[in-house]
Amino acid sequence: MAEIRHLQPVEIPDDPPSESLSTRVAVSALALGLKALSQRALAATRDVFTLLSVGTIFWIWNDHPDPSVTQIVSLSLYATFILAANVIVRRM
């Protein structure tokens, strides 16, 4: 049979322990790493826009296996618009 354990109260000290040099160095190294990671994530948002926009073109073209002439023209205009939008985003 399982033994029942009773919880014991824990005393929390009033004074926080002083930070050692190694702790401060570790925290600053972690902050530096997170800063670099967030900057890379911001730079990657342009690539996500390109991936999603080109993905919509691929999805729409695959959604129409036997397109008519009107659909081909409209899909080509949409692809041209997406290409122009990606060029604008890349130059900014």
What's the number of domains the chain is made of? Answer: 1
- What pLDDT does 43 receive? 77
Q: Residue 78 sits in which domain range?
A: 44-92
Q: How many residues does the chain have?
A: 92
> How many angstroms separate the first and last alpha carbons of the chain?
69
- What pLDDT does 59 receive? 92
- Model pTM above 0.95: no
- What pLDDT does 64 receive? 85
Give Cα 52 distance to the centre of its chain. 13
Q: Are the beta carbons of 78 and 60 closer than 8 angstroms?
A: yes
Q: Are the beta carbons of 88 and 53 closer than 8 angstroms?
A: no
Which residues of the chain are under the pLDDT cut of 70?
Answer: 1-2, 15-18, 46
Tell whether 92 is covered by a domain: yes
- What pLDDT does 49 receive? 83
Tell whether 76 is covered by a domain: yes
- What pLDDT does 20 receive? 80
Give the C-alpha separation, 37 to 34, whole Å. Answer: 5
Tell whether 53 is covered by a domain: yes
Residues 6+ positions from 61 with CB-CB distance below 8 Å: 75
